[in-house]
A and B are shown apart, each in its own frame.
Chain A
Amino acid sequence: MTKVLIPSGALGLGYDADALARGIALGPDLIAIDGGSTDSGPSYLGRGVSKYARASTKLEWQGLILARAKAGCPLVIGTAGTCGSDCMVDWLVEITREILEEQGLSANIATLKSEQPVSRITDALAADTISALPAAPEINADIVNDCTHIVALAGIEQITAALQTGADIIIAGRTTDTAIIAALPIMNGINPGPAWHGAKIGECGALCATNPQSGVITVDFDNDGFTITPLAEGAHATPHTVSAHMLYENTDPFILYEPGGHLDVTDAQYTALDDTRVRVTGSIWNPSDTYSVKLEGARVAGYQSIILVLIRDARYVENVQEWCDDIIAKHREKTCARLALGPGDFTVELRIIGQNATLGDLEVQETALTEVGVLGIVTAANQETAATIAKLLNPYLLHHPLTLLEEQPTFAFPFSPAEIDRGAIYEFVLNHVMVLDDPMDAFILTVLP
């Protein structure tokens, strides 16, 4: 048996402190929490920063460090600081040391770093050990060279190595969400099928139960299956909530690819033990012939300035598309003339909020509107150019008339200045896997002094 306590789906989302205390009283073998994902977009990996405030991260991490001291088991976090870059591992180590000092605690810390030097990836490309996953973009050495951060997703092998150091606190860079949970049961000899499946169900905390925001659950692993127990007052796991979690953020609800193989839950059985706990059996792990890890990388796609205007005049609301099309044409011409730019050197988009800003061409509804917002998005090769192009857009959005003979109209800017510089914009460029001879080849495990 191996009992893993999962406080929430991500550090920074909050957890129920009473439920955590209840979990500690149950004597877990491990406390595991995820620190990030790609879900908030490429900027976090591109810049190597955390999505969550340092203050939230520190407060929640402190709660877990204190819980760990009480439980006397290891605490592991995967994908530290949202993106799992090396600098985010260092950031969380710094926060950890602050907490330990302030609380008068001591703990052994190990780090697992997942960031990839560009040369390793370009060498692997040349050696043909990188392959594309479905819907991957085209890549080449130049694109890889442009990446500001590239990480590889660690699996159970690297987390197991970290656990075997005997560290109290393991701070890992990018890992799969599941590996930090599945590693210990598999290390303890439990079948990998239930271990990976229980990890997948548990990785978002109480999202697999009712009252999903309460966070805290335990997963009890044994050789034939696993049991999910949500720990917050009034939270229940049912066969429906647990099995439905396989749908979440998965393209295929039955198959999950991980480093070293894939999980198949087609024949899994979900049984209610009572009105709170669910037991799952029948999950199968299929090892692969080669060992590969997934890569994530981001590079700068340009620099942006944005501008928002609100339109309340009924005639302009009704004719807003025509108004925008006219502005785009006139502004493009002026920008090329005044800045000596070609039309391919920048992009300007006017998204009509209230009409189709969310779905663009896919929108099928047409509703009469009271007002619309027009969001201007300028992208160029550097911030100065983007800001200048947005400045050229400003007078059009403020005063552009539908017809030449009418009195000059004025529209509502909510801000002064109306333009907002967004800085560098990043894009994800990798959806690939890299074959490794040894799972540790692309990762660095360090026990901190």
Chain B
Amino acid sequence: MTQIREIAVKVRSKNAGPFWVTIDIFCGSDTAFDQIVKSLSTDRVASLFQCDVGEIKRFEIASLSVVKFSFPRPHTQGAISDRDMHGAAWAPLLAELDLN
């Protein structure tokens, strides 16, 4: 089993406004990009983040070797139930996911 962080250069997450979060996987090479594109399904991302797969926007940007996911925040930024003001912690959760 290989975790995403073992083959990607960097995974980062950040708010895209108060109502959305966006996660960028910088794969660093064509090989890593191909492997992640092939083995990381949007369904798995939805299940990891416990969100509706239909709400996830997925971008595969070959020119940058980047795979990007954006989806509505489960809690609006700064809501009483929100734990992560800047949306920083979605990244390590995804980085530690085992690729199939």
Chain A residues near B (Cβ < 8 Å)? 38-43, 133-137, 240, 243-244, 247-254, 301-302, 304, 347, 351, 357-365, 377, 379, 425-428, 431
Contacts and interface: CB of A to CB of B under 8 A. Distances in A.
A243 B80 contact: no
A428 B78 contact: yes
Interface of B: 14-20, 22, 24, 26, 48-50, 55, 57, 59, 61, 63-64, 66, 68, 70, 72-73, 76-80, 83-86, 89, 93, 96
B68 A364 contact: no
B50 A362 contact: yes
Contacts of A301: 79-80
A347 B81 CA distance: 10
B64 to A, nearest CB: 6
Contacts of B26: 244
A136 B55 CA distance: 13
Nearest to A240: B64
A135 B83 contact: no
A253 B85 contact: no
B85 to A, nearest CB: 5
Contacts, number: 102
A249 B15 contact: yes
Nearest to A134: B72
Contact of A249 (B14, B19, B61, B78): B14
Contacts of A251: 16-17, 20, 22, 57, 70
Contact of A248 (B14, B61, B70, B72): B14
Given A357-B83, A365-B96, A247 B19 contact: no
A304 B70 CA distance: 31
5 contacts: A41-B78, A42-B18, A134-B20, A136-B19, A427-B76
Contacts of A136: 19
Given A42-B77, A133-B19, 18 more contacts: A38-B77, A43-B78, A134-B72, A135-B73, A136-B19, A243-B64, A244-B64, A248-B14, A249-B14, A251-B17, A251-B22, A251-B57, A254-B59, A358-B83, A359-B84, A359-B93, A364-B96, A431-B17
Contacts of B63: 243
A247 B22 contact: yes
Nearest to B85: A41
Contacts of B80: 301-302, 304, 347, 377, 379, 425, 427
A252 B59 contact: yes
Contacts of B83: 351, 357-360
A27 to B, nearest CB: 33
Contacts of B96: 364-365
Contacts of A247: 22, 24, 61, 64, 66, 68
A301 B93 CA distance: 29
A153 to B, nearest CB: 11
Nearest to A239: B63
Nearest to B80: A379
Contacts of B20: 134-135, 251
Contacts of A431: 17-19
A351 B81 CA distance: 11
A365 B98 CA distance: 12
Contacts of B57: 251-252
A149 to B, nearest CB: 14
A315 B100 CA distance: 37
Nearest to A244: B64
A341 to B, nearest CB: 17
A427 B89 contact: no
A428 B76 contact: yes
Nearest to B97: A364
A240 B19 CA distance: 28
A261 to B, nearest CB: 18
B50 to A, nearest CB: 6
Contacts of A365: 96
A-B pairs, 9 with minimum CB distance: A135-B72, A41-B78, A251-B70, A42-B78, A135-B19, A428-B18, A358-B89, A251-B16, A431-B19
B77 A428 contact: yes
Contacts of A38: 15, 17-18, 77
Most buried by B among A39, A357, A364: A39
